Amino acid sequence: MADNEFSIPACARAEISARGYALPPDMSAHIERWYGWYTGSDSWYEERYAGVDGKPRKRRKLSLRPARRVCREWASLIANEMGAGTDSPMANEWLAGFCEETDLFTLFQRGIERTFAMGTGAMALWFDVREDGASVRVRRYDAKMVVPLTWDEDGTTECAFCTRVAVKGKQAVQLQMHVLDGGTYHVVTKVWLDGEELSPESLGIIGDFDTQCRTPTFCVLSPAIDNTLQDTSPYGVSVFEDAVDTMKVLDTAWTALYDETDLMRAVLMLPDSMIDVQRTGADGKPRAVPFGDQEQRLYRLTSSAIGEEGKPYAFAPQMRTDSICGVYSAACAALGDECGFGSQYFKPDKDAGLKTATEVSADNSALMRNIRNHEKALGKGLGRMLTSLVECARIHCGAPVEEGAKPVRILWDDSIITDTNTEKQQMMAEVAAGVVPKWMYLAKFYGMSEEEARAALPADAVLDMGF
């Protein structure tokens, strides 16, 4: 087994090398660091100090989980209301049913969140072949499971996925390699238990499964950010790599806000004359009656030097939250800027209320450009994998799909980038004026192929113009 979950076990590395593949440059240390920030478990959050008694102590800093917030926002912006389509009608219908049945795009959205956190992620086809039939599903993997085998500037053409599985109640290592053999992709599966390789027959699996598909049966995902940490690496870089220092400032300010509020709250000091006593204990000595809860805000005033003798004294120092909020606001703006959203995205003092897509585009052109870049980086590989999904479903599962179906394309929801309602109104006006045909409206906004759109619109159909 590996020393930790972020490194590849020795048995898997040996198998990859034995097959003639060179392992990619190691980025496990970076991936582990990014995961620590993403989960809020980085050692930076453990603050060590010396107590008043001189003994070393530690406390945990508060955190807004800025790294996870950044990744969650990107996943929502990119994968919200996305879809997939092809110009082959039967394939398009089957794909739509598969995506709805398996909730594929929700899986993809979760995958994007992890991908943007750790720089790399992947999705791959998973086959369950039995005597009575076969089924195909899509599985997602994060960076610590992905091992590119063959790659260049155009992307990864062969890839392995190293995961942990349970065999007879024990944790085992599974290596699934999607490799080209004879022009088609094969899924080769190896399993080790306590360092010993298990035979596929004993596990009831196929050691070498020929998908009979010529397009990649997986896709490796990365943000549209250049990897400056490791040259010639197939791995990507976390979307918040340049914002680590900013996140430290943000969470430091957040912790300071808590400390300031907690330490500077008003307390009431009472003279002994206002505190009841009772005789308790074996010695029968008088003791003050306890008052208040565990979060003590009342104290005994043992000296008359503070306040007037015999009267309670309220201690209410002035808080410095305004200056801390200024630091917090600046850190929020810097976080958005460093992570590609623009400086206004997370800024807490921006005007309240919802904005239209047109207003957002005018306010934040950086966000619009980066969304497009990320969509291009993610969409190409995902479309090829879904094309393989359709083909494998036809070959192995008997899906009613045309042979040689057209490639699948990813349909992104551009309501953030463009004002969709405005575009719809404009195109309906163009249809009414006869500038564009009616079927084109359905093809653009509903993902239909030309044949489907023409069939859905009779020749005498008129689009409702809304006025």
User: pLDDT by residue (tens digit) across 287-297?
Assistant: 665 555 544 66
Last residue of a domain, one of 367, 384, 413: 413
For residues 137-164, average pLDDT: 94
Lowest mean per-residue pLDDT among 53-67, 197-211, 310-324: 310-324
108 and 223 housed in the same domain? yes
Same domain, 401 and 428: no
**In this structure, what DSSP letter does residue 434 have?**
T
pLDDT at 294: 41
Residue 195 exposed, middle or buried by CB count within 10 Å (0-12, 13-18, 19+): exposed
For residue 48, what pLDDT band results from cuts at 50, 70 and 90?
A: confident
- The confidence score (pLDDT) of residue 455 equals 85
Domain count, the chain: 2
Task: Please report whether residue 310 resides in a domain.
Answer: no
Looking at residue 196, its pLDDT comes to: 92
Q: Examine the domain organization and report whether 446 and 397 are in the same domain.
A: no
Give domain status of residue 197, yes or no.
no
Q: 146 and 105 in one domain?
A: yes
Identify the band that residue 273 occupies on the pLDDT scale cut at 50, 70 and 90.
low
Judge if 42 and 68 occupy the same domain. yes
Per-residue DSSP letter, 2: -
Strand pairing category for 184-193 and 170-181: antiparallel
Q: What is the rounded distance in angstroms from the CA atom of residue 157 to the CA atom of residue 234?
A: 11
Paired residues of 299 in beta bridges: 269
CB 329 within 8 A of CB 261: no
Top mean-pLDDT range of 254-263, 275-284, 379-388, 448-457: 379-388
pLDDT digits (tens, 9 = 90+) for 27-42: 999 999 999 999 999 9
Picking from 296, 314, 298, the residue whose alpha carbon sits closest to that of residue 306 is 314
User: For residue 154, what are its two tokens?
Assistant: 């155009």
Full-prediction pTM beyond 0.75? yes
Nearest one of 159, 169, 158, 219 to 194, comparing CA atoms: 169
- Asked whether residue 371 falls in the same domain as residue 426, the answer is no
- Domain of residue 455, residue span: 419-467
The verdict on residue 330 lying in a domain is: yes
Q: Give yes or no: residues 218 and 332 share one domain.
A: yes
Q: Cβ distance 242 to 271 under 8 Å?
A: no
Q: Does any domain span residue 301?
A: no
Whole-angstrom distance, CA of residue 350 vs CA of residue 144: 38
Q: Which residues contact 273 (CB under 8 A, 6 or more apart)?
A: 310
Three-class DSSP category at 93:
helix
* 458 and 330 share one domain: no
Q: According to the model, what pLDDT value does residue 289 have?
A: 59
Lowest mean pLDDT among 49-53, 144-148, 418-422: 418-422
Confidence band for 231, pLDDT divided at 50, 70 and 90? confident
Per-residue pLDDT, 262: 77
Specify the pLDDT at position 355. Answer: 46
Q: Beta strands 196-198 and 46-50: pairing type? A: unpaired
Same domain, 121 and 99: yes
CA 248 to CA 65: how far, in whole Å? 11
Indicate the Cα dihedral angle 251, 257, 262, 268, nearest 10°: 170
Residues 424 and 380 in one domain: no
pLDDT score of 330 more than 70: yes
- Quote the mean pLDDT of the chain: 84
Domain stop point among 386, 413, 440: 413
Residue 169's pLDDT is: 87
Report if residue 36 sits inside a domain. Answer: yes
Report the range out of 336-340, 341-345, 411-415 with the highest average pLDDT. Answer: 336-340
Whether residues 99 and 14 fall in one domain: yes
Hey, what amino acid is at 119? G
Measured N-to-C along each axis, helices 365-397 and 89-102 cross at an angle, to the nearest 10 degrees, of: 100
Do 397 and 449 fall into the same domain?
A: no
